[in-house]
Structure 1
Amino acid sequence: MDQLDRRIIAALQANARASTTQIATTLGVARTTVHERINRMEQRGLIEGYSVRLGSTEDTPKVQVIVMLEVQQKETSRIIKRLEAYPEVKLCLSINGEFDLMLSAEAPRLEDLDILVDDLAKIPGVLRTNTSVVFGRRIDRN
């Protein structure tokens, strides 16, 4: 993957519905070049699909937190199963370092997330948590 492929992917991440002509014009390359490169990246599995990103409506603002969990290693699979039951948890990543899992969670009110974090800390095998409130998204390619 070269710099042009990365620029094409960035354009698709910004707007997956953009035509190859629009992307080519933006990047200053031929439409056929963009078309061939997208096809090649799809065939190689670099691009697995396209999706829709839903916006939030004005009447349902969301508060987001990042929760770091330190867990007993032998309990990790069971804890992840428990996490799946919380609709507020939108993402769970296994990480290295001081903590073992990183969660992204969303809810309409900060109070709802406060209750969630308290519940997470009570799960057997969770040794400790560290929570940060997200103030804003600076780069979001999801």
Structure 2
Amino acid sequence: MATRKRTPEKQPIPLAAPKDSLDRELIALLQANARESVANLGRKLGVARTTVLARLARLEATSVIVGYTVRLGSEAAEQGVQAYVGISINPKMQRDVIRRLTRLPELRQLASVSGEFDYMALLRAPTTMRLDALLDEIGEMEGVLRTTTSVVLALRVDRNA
């Protein structure tokens, strides 16, 4: 008599959380190489290509995966200047300011924070002149009340690589 593998009852998928180990493995593979083909992902995971496509569609639809990006090699990433920018924003203009900030290719991170500022941005520019122009551009955005910038002199620990 053949035994059937009992499948767990379907649970609602929580937003921003992978459903199971296959999702987590798929995400890890994409984090290592977001350009990996669906066929290669399927081979590495031991599942059909259509399974990978379905998982990707679900992960994107539930906002677990919200985009794909390029990571620069250490040599390219170390070039230029990096700065943390504290930004205070008029609450009524928050969405517009965030939309404009996200269009800046030099923006690496944007976090809402507690304390003196509303947001903390991490910028990377190829030169100090470009950083200066970016800071002027951010400071002149309608809805930005004030900014304070700290330029990174040396990165002591980086666990995001």
Superposition TM-score tier, normalisation by shorter sequence:
0.5 to 0.7
- 1:34-89 Cα distance to aligned partner (Å, 9 max, x none): xxxxxxxx74x88853534532437x822101111000112111110000111111
The number of residues matched between the two structures is 100
The CA distance in 1 between the partners of 2:125 and 2:80, in whole Å, is 5
**Same amino acid, percent of matched pairs:** 38
Q: Note the C-alpha offset of 1:106.
A: 0.5
The CA distance in 2 between the partners of 1:137 and 1:64, in whole Å, is 10
Please list, as runs of the form range in 1=range in 2, the aligned pairs for 1:1-142 lying within 5 A after superposition.
43=21, 49=28, 51-52=31-32, 53-57=71-75, 61-142=79-160
The CA distance in 1 between the partners of 2:73 and 2:98, in whole Å, is 27
1:140 aligns to what SS in structure 2? coil
* Structure 1 runs (4+) greater than 3 angstroms displaced: 45-48
1:90 aligns to what SS in structure 2? strand
Amino acid in the other structure paired with 2:85? V
Q: Note the C-alpha offset of 1:131.
A: 0.3
The CA distance in 2 between the partners of 1:56 and 1:49, in whole Å, is 20
2:142 aligns to what SS in structure 1? coil
- The RMSD of aligned alpha carbons is 2.4
The CA distance in 1 between the partners of 2:103 and 2:82, in whole Å, is 18
**Which structure has the bigger radius of gyration?**
2
TM-score, structure 2 as length reference: 0.55
The CA distance in 2 between the partners of 1:94 and 1:116, in whole Å, is 19
Which of the pair has the greater relative contact order for Cα pairs under 8 Å at 6+ separation? 1
The CA distance in 1 between the partners of 2:79 and 2:114, in whole Å, is 32
